[in-house]
Chains A and B, each alone.
Chain A
Amino acid sequence: MEAGLAAQHETALESIVLAPLRQTGRQFRLVCAGLGLLVLVGIFAVARQWTLGLGVTGLNRPVYWGVYIVDFVFFIGISHAGTLISAILRVTQAEWRRPITRIAEAITFFALILGALQIWIDLGRPERIVFLFYWGRFQSPLLWDVTCVSVYMLSSTLYLYLPLIPDLARLRDRMIGGEGDGRRGAWRLRLYTAMALGWHGGREQRRRLERGIGVMAILIIPIAVSVHTVVSWIFGMNMQPMWHSTILGPYFVVGAIYSGIAMLFIFMTIIRRAWHLEPIIGARQYDYLGILLLVMSAFWGYFTLSEYLTTGYGTMVQDTQVLAAKLSQEFAPWFYGMLVCNVVIPFGVLLWRRGRTPLGCFVASLAIVVGMWVERFTIVIPTLTRPSLGPANGSYAPTWNELAIMAGSLALFALLFLLFFKLFPAISLWEVEEGEVVALARQKAQELAEEGLEGLHGTLAG
């Protein structure tokens, strides 16, 4: 079916989706250079920390964990974008998912890399990270994390790759000749050919691919839930006030999906604009996904209320101390800022159909991504500043070294994402085409049904 593709003319869809893979503008190069610079600053900060010791951070006793752990939870949370959008919507056969699954899956993949990196950066002896595999003990929640994140990494790589195969074959057939850009074209061709694994789109190949994607879509949901649950358990398993709570696991899962969708909105809006994909990613995606985001906001608000009301209603001394730190002491700006970002702004914008536009969703999502980072901060830090025994209240202010690593990480995340979509199509071509066929078939069936009905009426009238 796709054997003669090279000879055929490109469809309009292909031209739109493949255009950014063919030409690279000055703006793109500038953005990449800027991000690359930030990454270099981050690498310098990491090198400095590994040379001098963790003393270059703002960490201390009792605040042993800081920005790196917050970033770890943040990035792993973002990685839930791919699972939810892609897997859940695929399983429930939501047709509107088709143009955005690839972007969601890529976010998952890169966010996981960045998340795992944070744990490495946080270690006092980074060169001993292999000990986790060599001496690892399953009694430790940290090893649960290592295990679940590794499994999630493997499965999400597969889950990104499988639906990419038919598109890779198309790139293999489309990206040669025509442009004739010499050596660059040659290595790309080799890459696409190797990665396409000899895909020709035959019936049997298609059947197997669909089956593989179907199995992965179901498998990846419990894996993703496990990942964010065990991330919460590196806190929840410790007998520390406002950590040692059964709600923490599900709370983190909800927060992860919430921030994941928000990050999907941000990246999808940027790529839609920069790659000129407006005809493919339309109002429907923003409207439906916006409703989903709103639902997650409500879920998150409900979990937050449950957690804080339960703690606040009680009078347990240590819990109350931590709660007071968040509600009325030094962490109050963070706490209320988090509520504004995660509940007030999303509800104010997304509740109305007029708000669920690309701009509205983008703004609400920016607020949510910031708010969810702050949420992780207000979970990790205040508890540590109120030790049950020992020195007076702790305090923590990140140093430039930590902030540079954070900026570098965010930049690397964006850079990997952009470069990936310079090499691979941002839209799953074959799935969107399949969607068009499905829509057409449905329309036809509808027409036939109506015709049949009319005919029937005619017969009856006659």
Chain B
Amino acid sequence: MKSVEFAQMIRIKCLELSHRKKTSHLGGSFSIADVLAVLYSYVLKYDSQHTQLEIRDRLFYSKGHACMALYAALEGVGFYSDLEEKFTLDGEYFTSHINHNVPGVELSTGSLGHALSVAVGVSLASKKKNQVWRTFTIVSDGELDEGSNWEAILLAPHLKLDNMVLIVDYNKIQSFGMTNEVLNLEPLNSKFVAFNWNVFEVDGHDHFKLKNCFDNILLNGKPTVIIAHTVKGKGVSFMEHKLEWHYKSPSTEQFDQALKELKS
């Protein structure tokens, strides 16, 4: 699938940015790269030349710390071509938490647990205006510790927002420990079922299965959550499942090794 190549391109760009700019959050950028690649390859309606196009789907990227993956995806589909030059540069909007002043970014995030409520408001507006465009919100797993998310998770089905899709990047590692040890989310699937959501649970690195989920979203008066089981640091052997890659940027040797693995 072409999206597989796109995902690897996103990872390589993230690797280069993290190495050159000494920025963090490579692990969470790698875990979400496949979801972003599938979304931008097959699912989202967008026009990179008309960022405010009324009928576009709105993507809300709540895990704003993993900004490199979204910046790279947006560059990959043509929203801009100067990411490497401007990323974290003094005076540029490419901050290391996602920034709405960058073309294609709907909302600045970085403080966790904010975007889902905003997405509910935007989805409600779409319904009120009888529009067909949808919202897609990507949250991290650790982020679900934030109570504000659960306020929004309670409200979305109450408002029958079936134009709303939530993707959980469930890579099982948060800032300072494993999610099941810091604050266990399980049983996550049945929590969403109990909150009246349509629930898909999928390998978040299997493009075919991800696409299949997005193709089969029901319009039954309920919002949909896709629990994407992912691997933090996915794609580079020595980064996978490692908490330290929430923080570290690769040395030259690590960069060379990682690049070799991503290109193989």
Chain B binds chain A: no
Where the two chains meet, the residues of B that have a C-beta atom closer than 8 Å to any C-beta of A are: none
The residues of A with any CB-CB pair to B shorter than 8 Å are none
